Structure 1
Amino acid sequence: MSLSPVAALPVAMAAAVVVALGDLAVLPPLVVAALTVAVLAGGTRAMHLDGLADTVDGIGGGWTRERALEIMRRSDVGPMGVAAVVLILLVQVAALSAVVARPWGWLLTAAVVVASRAALLLTCRSGMPSARPSGLGAVVAGSVPIWVAGLGGVVVAALLTLVAAASGLSPWSGAVVVVLAGVAVGLLLRTCRRVFGGVTGDVMGASTEVAFTVLLVVLASGRW
């Protein structure tokens, strides 16, 4: 998990290609953003979105820890999970349409995809327990040393700062967006630890989607 941002490079490059081709074809930014989000979902087989849906269903429908974990394990998706996925996709497309319209939008998009995977460093940091004795969470929970998670945050902040500056954004933008995304992921993890007792593979997917969305929204504001 320590190399999660690096592992995201192939899907980040695919997203960058879509944005670049859309720019060459003079497609509307909203269309380019929708196509890019679709490619990102396909590149991950929508596992992160599935994790988001299951996590929201578990948080919203489980009165006990056991019940919440049982809901997450089920193959069907509840109304809260569906609503969460639809809403987050709408926000992602809307925010990304502003990002791709900026100079070097293709590079900024790729940088955001890579940076969003740093959320997995927080999710799997030392001291974070697994909600279950088996499964992906049990394998990787607590596997990332805190110093590695911190270093990863610094690296992605520096990356975003350089790329955002090339896109005409503030030199502080990289640090600001990474901090805000980290806070959002931290709140999600705190809730999951209280409700589930720790993290699962679904929580990891949810944290990535939350980080990606926050990064896009803050960058789209153009104030940083």
Structure 2
Amino acid sequence: MLRTSPLDGLRFAFGTLSVLPVRVRRWDREAARGGMLSAPVVGLAVGGSAAALGLLLLALGAGAPLAAVASAAVPAALTRGLHLDGLADTADGLGSGKPAEDALRIMKQSDIGPFGVLTLVLVLLAQIAALTQLYAGSWTRGALAAVTSAVAARLALTLAARTGVPAARPEGLGAAVAGVVPVPGALAVTAVCTAAAAAWGVLLGPYGALRAAAAVLLALAAADLLLRRCTRRFGGVTGDVFGALAETAATAALVVLSLGG
């Protein structure tokens, strides 16, 4: 039996959750467990890149709307749009009103239906609107929001891969990672990420830490509601559902961070 290295988990996380040139050397359950526990690290890299591009544009004289579009585009680019595609497919599956087997078949089709298009438009508009407000208020606030939302999005995947959440199909990414994360491990990673968000939220003022921590926790709550709906509707999770959870958590975090002035 191969000895598991922490690097195997990181390779799995970056190789499956981003387009960064990382070679996944192991595709077994142990590597998947380490990868899903490491998912927020990918969020930190993606969010940092999104914030960096937004800040660069602001420094070059661009306005908050353009910086917001750039910060929303970077996560899509670094995932080849897979999370957005998963969001659209999940919306089509949930909106179809079909039995689970037929809904899963609809989700596997290459085209996007009306539910998927509408969901994509509304989610992207919400993300850009929230980031625009945040960047307009403070460059630091906008940048930290980009990082926080990306970390929360990947943290939602860690929780979705916890023990007890089944896969809807016997193949695909959903089957590879479903149930691989022990609940105590998922809770520990959640505590670390929430504390980290609160720590950098201090830069935003006396209520910054509370707002940042609340953004992470409420983002996870929103994603968990969708997860429960999908597991009831489809019988478990799929790769598309994981993408939908990430986008839901990211959007919820940005909305929370934009509230309260």
CA RMSD across the alignment: 1.5
Matched, 1:202 2:244: no
Under a length normalisation based on structure 2, what TM-score does the superposition of the two structures give? 0.81
Q: 2:227 aligns with which of 172, 189, 205?
A: 189
- Range 12-21 or range 97-106, more displaced: 97-106
Q: Which moved more, 1:167-176 or 1:12-21?
A: 167-176
Deviation at 1:53, TM superposition (A): 0.3
How much does 1:146 deviate? 0.7
Unaligned runs of 5+ in 1: none
Letter in 1 for 2:201: A
Give the stretch that moved more between structures: 4-13 or 211-220.
4-13
Question: What 5-or-longer segments of structure 2 have no aligned partner?
Answer: 1-35
Q: Which amino acid aligns with 1:114?
A: V
Equivalent pair of 1:119/1:211 in contact (CA under 8 Å): yes
Alignment partner, residue 176 of structure 1: 214
Q: Matches of residues 97-108 of structure 1 in structure 2 within 5 Å?
A: 97-101=132-136, 102-104=138-140, 105-108=142-145
Is the contact between residue 62 and residue 71 of structure 1 (CA under 8 Å) also seen in structure 2?
no
Alignment partners' CA distance in 2, 1:10 and 1:87: 25
| Number of the residue aligned with 1:160 | 197
CA contact (8 A) 2:149 2:251 kept: no
8 A Cα contact 1:108 1:164, kept in partner: no
Question: Where do 1:35-114 residues align within 5 Å?
Answer: 35-101=70-136, 102-104=138-140, 105-114=142-151
- Pairwise CA distance, 1:128: 0.2
* 2:149–2:249 contact (8 Å) kept in structure 1: no
Matched, 1:29 2:64: yes
TM-score, with length taken from structure 1? 0.94
Structure 2 distance, partners of 1:190, 1:66, is 17
CA distance in 1, matches of 2:43, 2:210: 24
Q: Which of 125, 130, 133 is equivalent to 2:162? A: 125
1:103: Cα distance to partner? 4.7
| Counterpart selection for 2:176 from 128, 139, 159 | 139
Identity of aligned residues (%): 46
Please state how far the C-alpha of 1:183 moved relative to its aligned partner: 1.3
Which secondary structure state, in structure 2, belongs to the residue aligned with residue 8 of structure 1?
Answer: helix
CA distance in 1, matches of 2:209, 2:71: 26
Moved over 3 A (4+): none
- The number of aligned residues is 223
Q: Which amino acid aligns with 2:260?
A: G
**Structure number with higher relative contact order (C-alpha < 8 Å, ≥ 6 residues apart):** 1
Q: Which amino acid aligns with 1:137?
A: G
Output one character per residue of 1:164-199: Cα deviation in whole Å (capped at 9) or x when no partner: 220234331233222211211111011101110000
